[in-house]
Amino acid sequence: MVKAGTVAAVALVLLGAACDYGRQKPDRPDRSSPSPYVWQLPEGFPAPRVPADNPMTPEKVELGRQLFHDPRLSGDGTVSCASCHRPELAYTDGRSRAVGSQGNIHPRSAMSLTNVAYNATLGWDDPSLIHLEDQALVPLFNTQPLEMGVAGRENEVLARFRDDRRYRQLFQSSFPEDQDPVSMRNVTQALASFQRTLISGNSPYDRWAYGGEVDGLDPDERAGARLFFSRRLNCFRCHSGFNFSGPVVYDGSGTPEAQFHNTGLYSEGGRGAYPKPNTGVHRHSGRSEDMGKFRAPTLRNIALTAPYMHDGSVPTLEAVIDHYAAGGRARYIGTNSRNIGPDSATDPLVTGFELTPEERRQLVTFLGALTDESFVLRARERSVE
């Protein structure tokens, strides 16, 4: 154990440095006050909103980072959070649908965690899920389908970390007021703290729009930007704001009304229904008007997060654009183009548009300019420290 007062040694432990624990004295709880956290924010970005009962500290962020990448956090020790949220893919997994422990297939795709701290709601379709601390409980304890498989094995999972001297020290330095800091509550608080630091805002578009780099976008990318923000296409109406995702929350902001959209992706029976269990907000509310409504994901780093839509059913950005250009897939399924009934819940913004081949290419090029290479590089580095 690190001796009391040896600040340099504690810092090395927190950074994950290799230590010969066999020659250290038995560990003792560190009851010193955690360090204040200093945000490193892109130009023009507000500080994320942080719950009063889970303040940010470097120690807690480091603990969350290590837990995020550690498969011992799953019930059978086979998958980690990073299994479905891979740093090199902007914290997605490249699959149509996520795969949990024991090979269980999730009905929906793994959403990107890019700028997740700013999301007004979390997940694809749950209006009530607004705190990262609560969201962490979903993959940990979900059984339909089984994701990380912690339910019923909580004591076993926590024992793995209690038996690891490095983790004991990390928990103690992150939660110095707790007599038994290795708890599931503290696991979720640390995970949430780490995820709040996954902030991306250094794409070519950002450098052009906010950083004053006149040549930050090439002519095709600028043409694509004009299309994206045009009334003809209306892309920006759902993917709005600095996060390209609709409503956001941040330190000092109000609480905006959550937005969910039916993009006409399905129309079972020609009546606008979506296949179970992916019925959108309807899955939670049971209301017919919520059928097929899902949250608009961020478009930041979108070129890295294929395939697309809530179920990964659209393979490429070009295919996504074709879907919206046609006014939603439901509008042209089958031989009868009028197969969608008047009671369809398809969002009125999804009206369709025409694009020339050159415009289609320019729009895809612009979406590629939302890739923040420094964010991905930093994410890769943090995954192997």
| Domain segments of the chain as ranges | 7-199+376-384, 204-233+260-294+302-369
Band of pLDDT at residue 251, cut at 50, 70 and 90: very high
* pLDDT score of 19 more than 70: no
Q: Which of 231, 230, 236, 206 shows the shortest CA–CA distance to 369?
A: 206
- pLDDT, tens digit, for every residue of 65-93? 999 999 999 999 999 999 999 999 999 99
Residue 86 to residue 234: CA distance in whole angstroms: 31
Amino acid at the residue 157: V
**Which CATH number does the domain 204-233+260-294+302-369 belong to among 3.50.50.60, 1.10.760.10, 3.40.50.170, 3.90.226.10?**
1.10.760.10
- pLDDT, tens digit, for every residue of 181-197? 999 999 999 999 999 99
Cα angle value 68/80/203 (rounded, 5°): 55
Band of pLDDT at residue 268, cut at 50, 70 and 90: confident
pLDDT at 5: 40
Residue owning tokens 């052009």: 208
DSSP state of 202: -
pLDDT at 18: 33
For all residues of the chain together, what is the average pLDDT? 88
Residue 293 to residue 107: CA distance in whole angstroms: 15
SS3 assignment for 253-315:
CCCCCCCCECCCCCCECCCCECCCCCCECHHHHCCHHHCCEECCCCCCCHHHCCCECCCCCEC
Topology agreement, domain 7-199+376-384 and domain 204-233+260-294+302-369: yes
| Residue spans of alpha helices (H) in the chain | 7-14, 58-68, 81-84, 132-141, 154-162, 165-174, 184-195, 204-209, 219-228, 235-238, 282-285, 317-325, 357-368, 373-384
* pLDDT score of 343 more than 90: no
pLDDT at 36: 85
Cα angle value 326/329/331 (rounded, 5°): 70
At the topology level of CATH, where does 7-199+376-384 sit? Cytochrome Bc1 Complex; Chain D, domain 2 (1.10.760)
pLDDT at 272: 85
Cα angle value 10/70/372 (rounded, 5°): 90
Higher pLDDT, 342 or 130: 130
What three-state secondary structure class fits 143? Answer: strand
What three-state secondary structure class fits 99? Answer: strand
Residue 206 to residue 44: CA distance in whole angstroms: 10
pLDDT at 337: 44
Question: Angle formed by the axes of helices 184-195 and 165-174, to 10°?
Answer: 80
pLDDT at 338: 47
- pLDDT, tens digit, for every residue of 88-116? 999 999 999 999 998 999 999 999 999 99
Residue 342 to residue 320: CA distance in whole angstroms: 24
Question: Angle formed by the axes of helices 154-162 and 184-195, to 10°?
Answer: 70
Q: CB of 45 within 8 A of CB of 253?
A: no
DSSP state of 117: G
Q: Please state the φ and ψ torsions of residue 293, each to the nearest 5 degrees.
A: -90, 125
pLDDT at 382: 75
* pLDDT score of 236 more than 70: yes
